[in-house]
Amino acid sequence: MEMAAAAHGVNVKGSSMSPLEVASSSLQRTARTHSWLTPAGRIAHPSFMPKKLRHEDSLRWECRSSENAPKRCSIEVQAAVADLLTQEDKAVVSVPKGETWSVHKFGGTCVGTWERIWNVSGIIADDPSLRKLVVVSAMSKVTDQMYSLLNKAQNKDDSYEADLVEVYEKHREAAMSLLSEGTELDGFLNNLQSDVKNLLAILRAIYIAGHCTESFSDLIVGHGELWSAQMLAASVRKRGLLCKWMDARDVLVVNPTSSNQVDPDFEASEERLEAWYSQNQADTIIVTGFIASTSDNVPTTLKRDGSDFSAAIFAALFRAGQVTIWTDVDGVYSADPRKVSEAVILKTLSYQEAWEMSYFGANVLHPRTIIPVMRYDIPITIRNVFNLSVPGTKISRFTAVDTETPQLGNEPEGCSSVKGFATIDNVALINVEGTGMAGVPGTASTIFGAVKDAGANVVMISQASSEHSVCFAVPEKEAKAVAKTLEAKFQRALAAGRLSKVDIIPNCSILAAVGQRMASTPGVSATLFNALAKANINVRAIAQGCSEYNVTIVVNREDSVKALKAVHSRVYLSKTTMSVGIVGPGLIGGTLLKQLNEQAATLKEEFNIDLRVMGVLGSKTMLLNDRGIDLDSWKHSLKENGEPANIQKFTEHLQSNHSIPNTVIVDCTASAEVATHYHHWITRGIHIITPNKKANSGPLDQYLRLRALQRQSYTHYFYEATVGAGLPIISTLRGLLETGDKIQRIEGIFSGTLSYIFNNFTGDKSFSQIVLEAKASGYTEPDPRDDLSGMDVARKVTILARESGLKLELENVRPDSLVPEPLREGCSTKEFLSRLQEFDADLTKLRAEAEKSNEVLRYVGIVDLREKTGSVKLERYPKSHPFAQLSGSDNIISFTTQRYHKQPLIVRGPGAGAEVTAGGVFSDILRLASYLGAPS
């Protein structure tokens, strides 16, 4: 052979070229003067001769003369080539690398049944990419079953045999349904039977020994991937594609670094890949996920959920153009949709964002999947195998946030500096504290050395710059061991007092906000903490690195979902959802429910406000609903499905749905009993809105205690409708005070009922006649004496006085009662109305005297800040006065202040009626929504 090669200018001995390179060189020399007939029978010009021989099963190159007459190539050269190919066994074919490859990964759910395997093969066949590599997991639940039978064998539970038979039958039935019949099915079943026979022998040995090494464990549990890969490859071939399947243990080399982590050896894996591909050339390759080998060819795995990692490693080995992770969700959500129903699919994520969200438990990727693809800027797309119409989430080096100005608000998805949120539950905080820690080198090293000795994983670290304390989070199950190790390590420091304590704070959860450039975007942390404060959530610890990708917050476990909902709602401005409870579904409460029902759709669509009435509490019955009461039929439901009224159960119910961070109770009663619950509601973080005057005009000490509590919390207490129904009287007064104005006098007609009566008390009509008309028109309470006594106005005067800074008791405001003394007590409403005319003379006389002076009678309330008094009385005003120019049931309030001393500030408008009062309450609800994050 050497002589023949030399005859054609080929030097084999002493050459630095490999035998194949020598043979290629020989053919190239000959090709300069000849055309060639390829094995496929086509004429090849010399310029198309391969620079490096490629192996074909029937490699025969037939040489032809330039005259195209058949002429055999030199026998010596043919012999040399054949001999060289024999020496090399087969020509090494380099793996074609680059963007022509697309990598797909299908999880266990995607191949859970034979029908799903067939659907997956269709997705592969439909992929237009030139070359495809598909990483596949074991069929759904199979890996768990393999671990289970392994554990049973170790524990000498011989039911492992029956479990293995069950696994065998599952795959046999799937294969028979998928492949029907033929050599593909026969080949797979033969392999399956052989594998199960071997597994049975291994498990029997484990059963006898009562112990299993890690390598045997990895060998056993990796069989699910072997079987699913073979079935998927067969089904792809059934669709007409040339397809090979790869046992990843023949190619993928990893080095274990701990009990639950391995590092890929890319150099060794690339060498093995070249060797495998030269033997198995195909444009479609099905690869087993999860499993690999060590450098010593010992079977191992990439640990739990490692198939994503497999896909990323192979993408890097092939320098693929893209990776698609197929799963059973439409993409990566901004938060766990099981906890936050308003979570949205993210169109894009950066590698770092996906990395952070994976670490904090979001259902994105295996946490280490990102590393291999980042090296070559290979994008990953998360898609739903059951919903091909959705494009999914693309993870790459750059996202829209890199080119858009980060901002908080109603921005298009993808531009916010905060992309998503994730939570880790069941963690505990360890707090190491002491004055002796400050300035002592190595303290932190000693602390975390002790944590390492305890074998614990630190999830988060927070340390004040004073070094007085170090706080860190660990899984709750490891907390006691860590604390015990720390106490032993710092025994002398604790005894000497240099270290004061090692505390465990259990029952915590970690909330992580993830996004690019968060640290360089003003207001992100403020927005997050503001949202938590408004949801009445206490923050136990915080951490933010300079990487700009993450803000980590520790909260109590019971607040975990509520906190997640609150920050997600605030950042994404998804529907600002409130759990609403209505107390008192009477005239005002019923009207409010009607208004809420009419506006519900508009509020959702245009203002992102979702008001869910979760409960309606009457005096005798109540209606509760976990998803929200149907406001079209609440009256019927309350009557037919109502349960006995229980204000404590009502309160518990409103806060039982932790996916809704904000709860508000609207008290539409006039009950002093209901008002006594306000303090308890505020301590629970429940917002209160009410037209009920009893709390703010009740005992002064209770009022001051309630307001102090409300100011200390982020819980809102709105009561605009307590004075003037829907008129902005309270807010106007607050605006004056907050801007530094000094109130001198507040005077006004605060009762819509009495306004109507005295606006119509003219001409020949008697006072009793006007009262009857007012009652018939619905302007009075069922018993008009409640209005005519002046107590309602006195309560409003007390409220305004207290808002102005006066510590006034209701009993200090003595109203001029319009109820004749004999009729105040001891008679029914009917008797009162029939006898009221007996006392018309006095008021008729007062009206006549006023008219002689060109004046009118008006029933007013007065707050005099100079005299520090409040009063309610019947007064006379000139007809030119604003109070004399009212009509109907309008209210009017005059503010005389330091700024408005020459001409008082006047607020005038409708001040009575269910529609107006309910409208005022509704306005407070919308104001609360704006404070909680909805657009104002």
Residue 765 scores a pLDDT above 50: yes
Tell me what the mean pLDDT of segment 115-127 comes to. Answer: 96
pLDDT of residue 34: 41
Q: Specify the residue for token string 């409960």.
A: 615
Per the confidence metrics, is the pTM higher than 0.75?
no
Tell me what the mean pLDDT of segment 290-299 comes to. Answer: 93
Which of 331-335, 403-407, 612-616 has the highest mean predicted lDDT (pLDDT)?
A: 612-616
Q: Specify the range with the lowest mean pLDDT, choosing from 37-41, 375-379, 864-868, 900-904.
A: 37-41
pLDDT of residue 33: 40
More confident residue, 232 or 412: 232
- The answer to whether the beta carbons of residues 486 and 393 sit under 8 Å apart is no
Q: What domains, with CATH codes, occur in the chain?
A: 2-91 (no CATH), 101-327 (3.40.1160.10), 420-572 (3.30.2130.10), 576-723+924-931 (3.40.50.720), 730-910 (3.30.360.10)
CA dist 588 → 615, 690, 835, 912 (Å): 16, 11, 30, 11
Mean pLDDT for all residues in the chain: 84
pLDDT of residue 28: 46
Tell me what the mean pLDDT of segment 524-549 comes to. Answer: 81
644-663 tens-digit pLDDT: 999 999 999 998 766 677 89
- Per DSSP bridges, beta strands 393-396 and 348-350 are parallel
- The answer to whether the beta carbons of residues 276 and 194 sit under 8 Å apart is no
Percent residues over pLDDT 90 in the chain: 60
Tell me what the mean pLDDT of segment 797-802 comes to. Answer: 96
pLDDT of residue 518: 75
More confident residue, 18 or 598: 598
Residue 24 — very low, low, confident or very high, per pLDDT cuts 50/70/90? very low
What string of H, E and C letters represents the secondary structure of 854-870? Answer: CEEEEEEEEEECCCCEE
Residue 382 — very low, low, confident or very high, per pLDDT cuts 50/70/90? very high
pLDDT of residue 439: 61
- The answer to whether the beta carbons of residues 22 and 15 sit under 8 Å apart is yes
Q: Specify the range with the lowest mean pLDDT, choosing from 320-324, 434-438, 446-450, 774-778.
A: 434-438
- The answer to whether the beta carbons of residues 474 and 482 sit under 8 Å apart is yes
Residues identified as active-site = 796
- The answer to whether the beta carbons of residues 660 and 342 sit under 8 Å apart is no
pLDDT of residue 781: 84
For residue 334, the SS3 value is coil
More confident residue, 635 or 492: 635
444-473 tens-digit pLDDT: 788 888 888 888 888 888 876 655 788 899
pLDDT of residue 934: 64
Q: Specify the range with the lowest mean pLDDT, choosing from 142-151, 349-358, 642-651.
A: 349-358
pLDDT of residue 912: 72
Q: Specify the range with the lowest mean pLDDT, choosing from 164-178, 542-556, 793-807, 893-907.
A: 542-556
- The answer to whether the beta carbons of residues 691 and 722 sit under 8 Å apart is yes
pLDDT of residue 658: 62
Residue 260 scores a pLDDT above 80: no
Burial of 409 (0-12, 13-18, 19+ CB in 10 A): exposed
- The answer to whether the beta carbons of residues 766 and 840 sit under 8 Å apart is yes
Residue 550 — very low, low, confident or very high, per pLDDT cuts 50/70/90? confident
Tell me what the mean pLDDT of segment 609-628 comes to. Answer: 93
Tell me what the mean pLDDT of segment 425-440 comes to. Answer: 81
183-235 tens-digit pLDDT: 999 999 999 999 999 999 999 999 999 999 888 899 999 999 999 999 999 99
- Per DSSP bridges, beta strands 869-878 and 855-864 are antiparallel
Please compute, for residue 624, the number of CA atoms within 13 A of its CA located in the half-sphere on the CB side.
17
Q: Which long-range contacts (CB under 8 A, 24 or more apart) does 585-590 make?
A: 585/616, 585/617, 585/618, 585/634, 585/635, 585/638, 585/668, 586/668, 586/669, 587/914, 588/668, 588/691, 588/914, 588/917, 588/918, 588/921, 589/616, 589/666, 589/668, 589/669, 589/918, 590/635, 590/914
Cα-based angle 357, 516, 404 (whole degrees, multiple of 5): 135
675-717 tens-digit pLDDT: 999 999 999 989 999 999 999 999 999 999 999 998 888 789 9
Residue 606 scores a pLDDT above 90: no
Q: Specify the range with the lowest mean pLDDT, choosing from 67-81, 247-261, 772-786, 889-903.
A: 67-81
More confident residue, 427 or 468: 427
- The answer to whether the beta carbons of residues 643 and 621 sit under 8 Å apart is yes
Phi, psi values for residue 553, rounded to 5°: -130, 135
The whole-angstrom separation of Cα 36 and Cα 70 is: 10
The whole-angstrom separation of Cα 729 and Cα 920 is: 11
Residue 50 — very low, low, confident or very high, per pLDDT cuts 50/70/90? very low
pLDDT of residue 659: 63
Tell me what the mean pLDDT of segment 577-593 comes to. Answer: 93
